[in-house]
Amino acid sequence: MAKEYKTIKEVVGPLMLVEGVEGVKYDELVKIKQANGEERFGKVLEVNEDRAVVQLFTSSQGLKIDDAKAMFLGHGIQLKLAPEILGRVFDGMGNPIDGGGEIIPVKTEDINGAPLNPVARDYPEEFIQTGVSAIDGLNTLVRGQKLPIFSGSGLPHSKLAAQIARQAQVRGSKEPFAVVFAAVGITFEEANFFIEDFRKSGAIKRSVLFMNLANDPAIERLSTPKMAITCAEYLAYTLGMHVLIIITDITNYAEALREISAARKEVPGRRGYPGYMYTDLAGLYERAGRIKGKPGSVTQIPILSMPEDDITHPIPDLTGYITEGQIIISRDLYNRGITPPIDVLPSLSRLKDKGIGKGKTREDHSATMNQLFAAYSRGKEAKELAVVLGDAALSDTDKLYAKFATEFENKYVSQGYNTNRTIEETLDIGWDLLTILPKSELKRIDLDLIEKYYPKNKAGE
Amino acid sequence: MNDKKVGVISKVAGPLVVAKGMTGVKLYDVVRVSEKRLIGEVIELRGDQASVQVYEETAGIGPGEPVYQTGEALSVELGPGLIESIYDGIQRPLAVVYEKAGDQIPLGIEVPKLNREKVWKFKKVAKVGDKVTGGDVLGTVVETKAVLHKIMVPPYLTGTVTWVYEGDAKIEDTIAKIKDEKGVEHEINMIQHWPVRVGRPYVEKLSPTQPMTTGQRVIDTLFPIAIGGVACIPGPFGSGKTVVQHQLAKWADVDIVIFIGCGERGNEMTDVLMEFPELQDAKTGESIMKRTVLIANTSNMPVAAREASVYTGITIAEYYRDMGYKVAVMADSTSRWAEALREMSSRLEEMPGEEGYPAYLATRIAGFYERAGYVTCLGKDGRKGAVSAIGAVSPAGGDTSEPVSQATLRIVKVYWGLSAQLARSRHFPAIDWLKSYSLYDDVLEEYYDKNVQKGWTKQVQKARALLQEEAKLNEIVRLVGVDSLEFQDRLTLEVTKSIREDYLHQIAFHEVDTYTSLQKQYGMLNTILHWYEKGQEALKNDVSFKLIEAMPIRERIGRMKYVKEADFPKEFKDCIAAIDSDYDKLAKGGQQ
């Protein structure tokens, strides 16, 4: 039995100081027991001689220093795992809240995970069809990728995430599939939207939910995503499932991180966020992937709301440096009624090139993708110019590009939250749109592909 | 174990461990922390108290546990077997660790840095009785089909060869004996140990005179880097830093590539590991993996080892430079290295400089890049070798006014500034031609004019001037519309569009477009400019601008990048001829 210390000296915000301790290890789990039987948990942040600084996982409200006892448990924070975990709902600390009773663990895992040897990774290259053209066609998602959705407050990122969770499939594959959902400091309504959506589509049976809502302690938020990822890793690498993790909202996680850092009086980096936030976020995101010789995969779709829609804010900025691309939701498109309002130009999937093409999607995918991007970009420029100078100032070609840009948004991007397009449908819509432009403008497509796929019923010249 | 003295841990805070009772330890010595024997390095000494940065996860470590001194500085092992390896930041061979321990890297694992069991064929070069000094070649082994590894006399050793071996040997076997001036006989094997924070010696540093060709048009033509030069690539995320680095690693005209993945994505290293073995080096016909060393310290691996990884990489690079090779070091990304410095600095409670970075940031960055260069190597044959260093920088929000970018820009001679705007319109490589610069271009002009084609420099200057002109014209267009421009100027806009889209834009994933030889680059640019000059002439002769703008040959020019190297000379000639004859036709029939 671990020793109990009654020497808690200080509690300041989420931090607690215990003195006179012996044999305490860095990062160890701490259990705090009060006289009334109430239990809390925390972890060792720093240990200096016989003084341990402990970070509480739950709010420090109501904590009484004189009669509380601290026990050092000798291991990190763990999650209980068993196949029965599917279909269950937990709080942000991994306790069941659906009334279904405790999980009888087959296995317990430290939620921090251990970094993977890069050599053990298998390169993600299996195309996931999400049924959303702006993603499948232009910013393709593959198994084992981490592709965040950058959004803003009041934008419909939840609807898009739910649509992806509902429609995502690897074509022609019957392998078991699961969704792990982590609510990090979001409102009940937003969380409920997901639960309802999962329920309606029947996805709830193959889902695991971790809920830390807006009124739950902020400190818990630091554990919630790690719980979800640990659970996903178990489903993927032990049970061989393909797992999609949706974490919303990372911004709340980063804020909790800042809170701890401020309480520790650390030297802040940009905007008060700690200097190690990059490393900390990487500790979440880098756990997506595939492992050689294991059947499952972990694909992450974290959602983060950019404060003031500012992509250079430290949270989206550091995220973008770690993740393999980003899907950007645009307020402008949203206001114009484009659903989903994905701004494809600044969006990016870094792994798309390995996941598309002959044998994976279709041989014309890569070339048409480049062409659509280039054409849409030029069309938007032309439209901007027309706003300043009037349509008359555009050359004939630019007018066609402007028309292309409008049609592209309306037909390609705007498809609604319930349309599930196959990749062929998406590619064909792309070709249809390209016929707006003269054939000679299609410089990024090889001639033999134009020969083969250019819609025959259109003149185009 | 040869551990000497033992200290006791008094404090643990993340990767920083403070230990007492560390008498006799030197700054930057390696220590082993706790019974788990985690690897650490002493970075501060106060009396008998040492601050140690630990290169492995410190969870589960606490006060009272022992710290073992090793008496050695953080070193790398240099010898045959480096090439084709993938190491972590402190030179642990990850492939061997994987075989031994599975998916994760166990704490304190000890594996030899170089394969001790592999047998190499040692061919002697030195003879008994030879007077040798540091850097002289004793013999060679074929390390891979692309690399002949020279076994050299360690620096600072001078003497007479008393015995040389020839035949099969493992790296720990003695291959030569050298008697120094004091009469002491040294047994030399194929391994050299070298502390990573100390640059390897050379005779003298020289000014670079040759370009390091990369096959990337925007780089070779507009912003070339010299062999032995230093360059940086700053850019916001998604602007293609990593793809540029990969392209350079694949196509740069060098003998050895050291690729340091410092605090970046794990999947990117996997990508390199899967793709490089498949790619062929144009020069040797061998897979490019056969000339590559990878160092991977991904973003979720321990922070402190990130700091060490750039030094490990450049030390290995210097070793191959000593053999007289041209080496390129790619560090992706130096910002993560700087962040590791910041994290340790903050744990040490040092007074922070700008944005929390330590005040010595600029000195460290300068110290790293200055280890690159074109040198005369040690050894009596006077061979020359080069290390070119290319560092990616990841400025927060793409704003290069931050400390890491600024400190880097003060050092490097080549600046490939990536633009989010270009990346967004999928113009790759997204190197901004207005912002970037190369201070080597005048040094290299002579080389290009002599070895590629006379008139290269002039042509490049013309292209550059046109792109500058375009920026100016675009401002006018934005204010008053394109119709207000003279036809001459509109033709300029057409040709710059062609330069941008048909020349500077290059698809890394297209099998032909991924690499363009200097000859082909010359031909492509020449064709575009030829079309422009002929066009200006035609405008003077009252040919309608509309007709010039709509010339079908322009589409063919746009497709030149996809023409295979072998077919290109013919295509070049045909294109020029077609342009001439098309303009002739216009001149006859197309007058307004």
CA distance B556 to A440: 10
Put simply, the answer to whether B396 touches A270 (Cβ < 8 Å) is: yes
The 10s digit of each residue's pLDDT in A154-163 is 999 999 999 9
Residue A460 lies in a domain: no
Mean pLDDT, 10 residues at a time, over chain B (592 residues)?
A: 74 92 90 92 92 90 93 93 94 94 88 94 95 95 94 94 95 95 94 95 94 95 95 90 90 94 88 85 84 92 89 97 96 91 86 89 95 95 96 88 93 94 88 94 90 91 96 89 88 95 91 93 96 95 90 92 94 96 85 44
pLDDT at A61 over 70: yes
Dig out the tokens for B151 from the structure.
């076994």
- Mean per-residue pLDDT for A134-140? 95
- Give which of A3, A24, A26, A366 to mutate to test B binding, by max B Cβ within 10 Å: A26
CA distance A281 to chain B (A): 9
Could you give the residue ranges of the DSSP H alpha helices within B212-252? 217, 241-251
Looking at residue B107, its pLDDT comes to: 85
The 10s digit of each residue's pLDDT in A78-90 is 999 999 999 999 9
HEC letters along A324-365: CEEEEECHHHHHCCCCCCECCCCCEECCHHHHCCCCCCCCCH
Put simply, the answer to whether A279 touches B339 (Cβ < 8 Å) is: yes
| Domain shared by A145 and A288, yes or no | yes
| Domain shared by A61 and A82, yes or no | no
Residue A459 lies in a domain: no
Put simply, the answer to whether B299 touches A443 (Cβ < 8 Å) is: no
For every residue of B49-113, DSSP letters joined together read EEEEEESS--TT--TT-EEEEEEEESEEEESTT-TT-EE-TT--BHHHHHHHH-SB--TT----S
CA distance A382 to chain B (A): 11
Residue A312 lies in a domain: yes
- Give which of A278, A309, A354 to mutate to test B binding, by max B Cβ within 10 Å: A278
Looking at residue A461, its pLDDT comes to: 42
Cβ(B122)–Cβ(B151) below 8 Å? yes
Count CB-CB contacts under 10 A for residue A11.
17
Task: Work out whether strand A207-213 and strand A89-91 pair parallel, antiparallel, or are unpaired.
Answer: parallel
Domain count within chain A: 3
**Residue A88 lies in domain:** 78-354
* A50, A56, A61, A64 alpha-carbon torsion, rounded to 10°: -30
CA distance B56 to B77: 20
The CATH code of the domain that includes A233 is 3.40.50.12240
CA distance B241 to B331: 11
Distances (CA, A) of A285 to A124, A225, A296, A312, B364: 14, 10, 17, 19, 29
Cβ(B224)–Cβ(B211) below 8 Å? yes
CA distance A162 to chain B (A): 25
Contacts of B279 (CB under 8 A, 6+ apart): B250, B287, B288, B289
Cβ(A286)–Cβ(B300) below 8 Å? yes
Cβ(B63)–Cβ(A48) below 8 Å? yes
Strands (E), B204-301: 204-206, 230-234, 256-262, 292-297
Dig out the tokens for A458 from the structure.
């259109």
CA distance A21 to A6: 10
Q: Which of A290, A321, A354 is the last residue of a domain?
A: A354
| Domain shared by A390 and A341, yes or no | no
| Domain shared by A101 and A228, yes or no | yes
CA distance B449 to A148: 48
For residue B572, give the H/E element and its range: helix B568-589
Looking at residue A220, its pLDDT comes to: 86
Question: Which region, left, alpha or beta, applies to residue A289 given φ > 0 means left and ψ of -120 to 50 means alpha?
Answer: left
Chain B residue numbers touching A396 (CB-CB < 8 A): none
Q: Give yes or no for A363 touching B (CB within 8 A).
A: no
Looking at residue B1, its pLDDT comes to: 47
Chain A residue numbers touching B420 (CB-CB < 8 A): 346
Chain B residue numbers touching A370 (CB-CB < 8 A): 426, 507
Q: Which residue has the tokens 């006014």?
A: B401
Dig out the tokens for A301 from the structure.
């779709």
Beta bridge pairs of residue B144: B147
Put simply, the answer to whether A266 touches B555 (Cβ < 8 Å) is: no
Count CB-CB contacts under 10 A for residue B381.
11
Q: Which of A53, A72, A91 is the last residue of a domain?
A: A72
Closest of B525, B492, B554 to residue B222, by C-alpha: B525
CA distance B592 to B545: 9
Chain B residue numbers touching A45 (CB-CB < 8 A): 13
The CATH code of the domain that includes A42 is 2.40.10.170
Chain A residue numbers touching B509 (CB-CB < 8 A): 353, 366
Cβ(B88)–Cβ(B296) below 8 Å? yes
Chain B residues 416-435 with CB within 8 Å of chain A: 420, 424-426
Q: Which of A52-66, A252-266, B458-472 has the highest mean pLDDT?
A: B458-472
Residue A461 lies in a domain: no
The 10s digit of each residue's pLDDT in A89-119 is 999 889 999 888 899 999 999 998 888 899 9
Put simply, the answer to whether A269 touches B356 (Cβ < 8 Å) is: yes
| Domain shared by A103 and A17, yes or no | no
CA distance A128 to A360: 10
Task: Work out whether strand B29-33 and strand A69-72 pair parallel, antiparallel, or are unpaired.
Answer: unpaired
Put simply, the answer to whether B13 touches A326 (Cβ < 8 Å) is: no
| Domain shared by A257 and A333, yes or no | yes
Cβ(B249)–Cβ(A270) below 8 Å? no
Looking at residue A364, its pLDDT comes to: 94
| Domain shared by A123 and A152, yes or no | yes
Q: Please say whether the dihedral angle defined by the alpha carbons of residues A208, A214, A219 and A225, taken in this order, is positive or negative.
A: positive
The crossing angle, in degrees rounded to 10, of helices B303-322 and B334-347 is 130
CA distance B39 to B30: 7
Dig out the tokens for A10 from the structure.
């200080």
| Domain shared by A83 and A159, yes or no | yes
Closest of B266, B388, B392 to residue B334, by C-alpha: B392
CA distance A265 to A262: 5
Beta bridge pairs of residue B52: B17, B42
Closest of B507, B506, B503, B499 to residue B470, by C-alpha: B499
Residue A33 lies in a domain: yes
| Domain shared by A122 and A41, yes or no | no
For chain A, the maximum distance between any two Cα atoms, rounded to a whole number of angstroms, is 85
Count CB-CB contacts under 10 A for residue A383.
18
Looking at residue A432, its pLDDT comes to: 95
| Domain shared by A103 and A141, yes or no | yes
Beta bridge pairs of residue B78: B192
Q: Which of A72, A104, A124 is the last residue of a domain?
A: A72
| Domain shared by A407 and A295, yes or no | no
| Domain shared by A319 and A215, yes or no | yes
Looking at residue B356, its pLDDT comes to: 85
Residue A411's Cα: distance from chain center in Å? 27
Put simply, the answer to whether B426 touches A374 (Cβ < 8 Å) is: yes
Cβ(A14)–Cβ(A43) below 8 Å? no
ipTM: 0.87
Say whether A438 sits in a helix, a strand or coil. Answer: coil
CA distance B436 to B205: 26
Residue A359 lies in a domain: no
Looking at residue A100, its pLDDT comes to: 87
Residue A458 lies in a domain: no
Say whether B276 sits in a helix, a strand or coil. Answer: helix
- Closest residue of A to B485, CA-based? A393
Cβ(A413)–Cβ(A426) below 8 Å? no
Chain B residue numbers touching A276 (CB-CB < 8 A): 14, 303, 339, 343
Q: Give yes or no for B356 touching A (CB within 8 A).
A: yes
Closest of A178, A211, A176 to residue A193, by C-alpha: A211
- Closest residue of A to B86, CA-based? A119
